[in-house]
Amino acid sequence: MGVRGLAGFVEDRGAFCAEVRVRDTKLVIDGSSLYHQLCFASAADPRRGGEYGLFAATVRDFFGSLRACRVSPFVVLDGGRGVDDRKLPALRERAAERLRAAHGLSRGEGGCVVPLLTREAFLQALRRLGVPFVQCFAEADREIAGLANRWGCPVLSLDSDFCVFELTGGYCPLTHFQWRSVCGGDGPQGRYIPARCFSVDRFCGHFGALKKSLLPLFAVMCGNDYIELAALEAFLSAVGSQRGGRKHARLRGLLSWLSQFSEPAEAVDSVLKYVKKHQREEVRDLLCASMGDYTPSDVDLEDFFRSSRYECEAARKAGLPQWVLDALAKGKLAPFIINALVLRSTFLRVQVENMQRPSAHSTALPIRQVIYGLLLKASQNTEAASGSNEPPVFCEFSRLQKTLKKTFVQAASLPTGFCGDSFSLEKLVEVPMSHRQMLLLETLGVKMSFLERIPSHLQLPVAVTCYWICCSEPKVKLHQLKALLLMIVSGELHRITSDPDATGLCVEDDVIAYNAFLQWKEKRLENKDFDLDAAHSFCQWQCCLQMGLYLNQLLGTPLPEPDLSRLYTGTLVHRLFQELKSTPSVENLFSSSPKMAQLYQDLVNTVES
């Protein structure tokens, strides 16, 4: 992410950053950077599929620190890959890196992999906390820079691209944003968060007369997520060699060389002398176009935060229905949906699973095919107008053994009764909710009558669990199923004993049961066993839940969306699985609460039916 090598260079040279006290300000936050950073800060076990409750608590604490310092956050998230899909090579490389990290973790080695549903848990947490956020149509960097400059406030991110943008309020790297160490007291200026702010003036001043306007050319020539110019290798090697073999020699050499020019066009002309004649115009066009990536966007995000209207030229040109654009901006549709719709291409994120088996995402393929079938009805109209005869297939990048592979998947034909014009994407939100619910449940192989005894906010995960039991390969073991259902009950017990909105539902028996459960958890913390086959099965469940969530969103949420922070806790479900194998009585963990004992029995009866 960002300009190759620049983050390390800036980190090594502390003089490029000024110590600042962040308080009484707006703050534009790169949401993708933040949820990655907070995921790792929550200290969850990366092998067991996520601790979404712990993650949500960390998100709450982070924004609590901002509120204590009267900082008004505005979170801006990346959307899809964009119509031009220019980052595809970088995304493939990143996916391969994640796969290697997941494989290492599956073998007991170190590493970090962001759990599958972290982004969804992050958006849910933002909504609960009332934090304003927007999800852009594509890459968010330019829109983040544009909004921060409109308000004259800092940007908070981990992306070194923000060292290149000319930002009025500066760029604060998340690595030095000490939100856990709020300082100050009740004095006139109040509390603040210690941080560092990158100073582009100090950076340019270090290299003599280097002009700020040359930084985009510097970033492009170093290589970023969008561009890798092999044609410039001879030039870059020559520049780097002038600085000897020291660390970051190429970056230093390039910056010193650029300092002799007054404007980018002059520097580009000089660079092209090192390029073969037949490549010069192509390289010139590529350099100039790529420098435009560092121009703040004219998309008015301030207007979105004021009126919830997201206007974007690229989105308009893509010809998407207005309700889709609105839902995307509000985070009610995932980037997966937009990539499938615009590009017919998706990445399936790898987890810590058994690499000898098919990808855990294979289990959820029939759900994805229904999603593709619904999206295809939008693109078929465009293709009919253009006379295209392309086959209706979607490209998926997923794991095959220990490598990243591209596979082509056919969209599903929708069931009879769902194939008319009323189910076109443009009119999908006009279809009666009962019909949309029927399509969701038919895809998951469940009838609504089966779910009537289940609380409404648990109906989707229970329907997904029924699907998982029927479709997973190898088949789900009984101990795995019971562990998962007990985990769901524990989340419900936590909800009614700790949520102020649910206190009327809680009786003394529930409090006793919850305290007993906490004592049991503490006693079992020392259990370090890791069963890779069980992990693979729980990964399959998360894949099914993810696609169930996405299909539910696309259909306008005919079933309520479950609270992920109370739904899945990796260490707990693995611990329950191990306990059930040796101590079957753990199934009675919640027996002191009649309400929870009945919920568990209802869950078992529903999925076994």
How big is the CA angle at 546 (ends 543 and 548), to the nearest 5 degrees? Answer: 105
CATH match of 6-207 with 3.40.630.10: no
Q: Which residues pair with 18 in a beta bridge?
A: 197
- The predicted pLDDT at position 66 comes to 97
- Of 1-5, 126-130, 149-153, 450-454, give the lowest mean pLDDT range: 1-5
Label residue 386 by pLDDT band (50, 70, 90).
very low
Burial of residue 532 (CB within 10 Å: 0-12, 13-18, 19+) is middle
Alpha helices (H) in 223-300, listed in sequence order: 233-241, 249-258, 264-272, 280-291
Q: What's the rounded Cα separation, in Å, for the pair 330 and 528? A: 40
Average predicted confidence (pLDDT) for the chain: 90
Percentage with pLDDT > 90 across the chain:
68
Other beta carbons within 10 Å of 272: 19
- The predicted pLDDT at position 414 comes to 85
- The predicted pLDDT at position 224 comes to 67
Instruction: Determine the longest span between alpha carbons in the chain, in angstroms.
Output: 82
* 327: helix, strand or coil: helix
Judge contact between 271 and 235, C-beta under 8 A.
Answer: yes
Question: pLDDT, tens digit, for every residue of 392-407?
Answer: 799 999 999 999 999 9
Q: Return the half-sphere exposure (C-beta side, CA atoms, 13 A cut-off) of residue 526.
A: 1
Residue from 378, 370, 538 nearest 441 by CA? 370
pTM of the model: 0.94
Judge contact between 532 and 88, C-beta under 8 A.
Answer: no
Is pLDDT at 25 greater than 70 in this prediction? Answer: yes
Backbone angles phi, psi at 388, to 5 degrees: -75, 140
Decide which of 231 and 25 is more confident: 25
* 34: helix, strand or coil: helix
Tell me the helix, strand and coil percentages in the chain, rounded to 5. 60, 10, 35
Question: pLDDT, tens digit, for every residue of 151-207?
Answer: 999 999 999 999 999 999 999 999 999 999 999 876 667 899 999 999 898 899 888
Backbone angles phi, psi at 496, to 5 degrees: -75, -20
Question: pLDDT, tens digit, for every residue of 526-563?
Answer: 556 789 999 999 999 999 999 999 999 999 999 999 99
The residue-averaged pLDDT of 268-272 equals: 88
Question: pLDDT, tens digit, for every residue of 331-385?
Answer: 999 999 999 999 999 999 999 999 999 999 999 999 999 999 999 876 554 454 4
Q: What's the rounded Cα separation, in Å, for the pair 206 and 203? A: 5
- The predicted pLDDT at position 179 comes to 97
Question: pLDDT, tens digit, for every residue of 463-505?
Answer: 999 999 999 999 999 999 999 999 999 999 999 998 766 656 6
- The predicted pLDDT at position 136 comes to 96
The residue-averaged pLDDT of 87-99 equals: 93
Backbone angles phi, psi at 411, to 5 degrees: -70, 150
Question: pLDDT, tens digit, for every residue of 222-254?
Answer: 876 666 666 677 777 766 555 444 668 888 888
Q: Return the half-sphere exposure (C-beta side, CA atoms, 13 A cut-off) of residue 295.
A: 7
So where are the chain's domains? 6-207, 213-294, 360-608
Is pLDDT at 149 greater than 90 in this prediction? Answer: yes
Q: What's the rounded Cα separation, in Å, for the pair 365 and 544? A: 9
Is pLDDT at 509 greater than 60 in this prediction? Answer: yes
Under 8 Å CB-to-CB from 511, ≥6 apart: which residues?
497
Is pLDDT at 301 greater than 50 in this prediction? Answer: yes
Signed CA dihedral, 405, 570, 574, 363: sign only: negative
